[in-house]
A and B are shown apart, each in its own frame.
Chain A
């Protein structure tokens, strides 16, 4: 689980850095359905951040159906990925694509290299699948 990184100098809120880090681990299969997620206390101490911040990231992922809390028994990766409505999926992906495209364009990247980077990222996440357990 030490692959979640929190960079103090990063202007993004820390809960969002943690949420994105966890989403990456989920997408790559490093965290698979049914796996336990470290307790808030464990992850907070490891990352040296306020427990309330970790808790906020967890709450968002639980809210999104990606993780679930079993009372008295910790937090787990949900057994089945949440059923997201097609329209919601489209909306989220379009929004993320808009952010990605904006970053690429403002850094002077051509669309080909942006596509290539996306393909690479996709491949990297899929090739990790199940490999880190």
Chain B
């Protein structure tokens, strides 16, 4: 089972009007591995992620999750996956425990004990309103919600963006604990190269709408004698739009 492919992106292109934003991208994510999708702003990351989550139909090509086309079977396939958006979409006026109860009602696989333990450990008060949480707590809360359904696939969109160093470290520690305990398959986008360098098994770099690199991280470092940050900088220098 270890070499089973959980996500397979096949020749995906996305075109808006006449502009090609994703150009024939193919990649695979093996079960239990962490795939980091990198690229400067405007490189096509968001469009590719939307295709991966079945939110958008590729102009050509397809995305398979657990072996089936995600666009055609979105509801069924995504019940086995969880998504952590860049900013939490939980309504701010609700209390943490109400949001947890809502999620619990939606997932048959919900692990309420684990969610409450996790929230307690990271210091998120269940009686607090979501809007009262700090940015770091909110990120940990969003992660706890995503993990509550015991997903086989976890998709994260720049989860540490805007977090201070303490919150970022807490987030990664919590995330790594999950990898150790459950071996969840993960796809994430990030700008946090240093943070992801120790965590990603494989890295893809989008550059000018194409996948310019798709390699095993440790092998890449051995082959090139460079850190991920150096490789990324060389590949993407002078491209992308300013953030």
Contacts and interface: CB of A to CB of B under 8 A. Distances in A.
A and B assemble together: yes
Contacts, number: 66
Contact of B198 (A11, A12, A40, A53): A53
Contacts of B193: 8
B199 A13 contact: no
A103 to B, nearest CB: 14
A9 to B, nearest CB: 5
A41 B198 contact: no
Interface stretch (B50-58, B81-89, B174-182, B203-211): B174-182
Interface of A: 6, 8-15, 40-41, 44-53
Interface in B156-197: 169, 172-173, 176-177, 179-181, 193-195, 197
B229 interface: yes
A52 B201 contact: yes
B34 to A, nearest CB: 6
A44 B179 CA distance: 10
A10 B222 CA distance: 11
Given A9-B194, A48-B199, A52-B32, 10 more contacts: A8-B195, A8-B228, A13-B218, A14-B198, A44-B180, A48-B172, A48-B176, A49-B199, A50-B179, A50-B198
A87 B172 CA distance: 44
B143 interface: no
B227 interface: yes
B113 interface: no
Most buried by B among A46, A51, A53: A51
A123 B230 CA distance: 36
Contacts of A53: 198, 218
Closest 4 pairs (CB-CB, A-B)? A49-B198, A41-B180, A51-B180, A8-B197
Given A11-B226, A50-B201, A45 B218 contact: no
B176 A8 contact: no
Nearest to B200: A50
Nearest to A56: B218
B221 interface: yes
Contact of A51 (B169, B176, B229): B176
Contacts of A46: 173
B225 interface: yes
B201 A8 contact: no
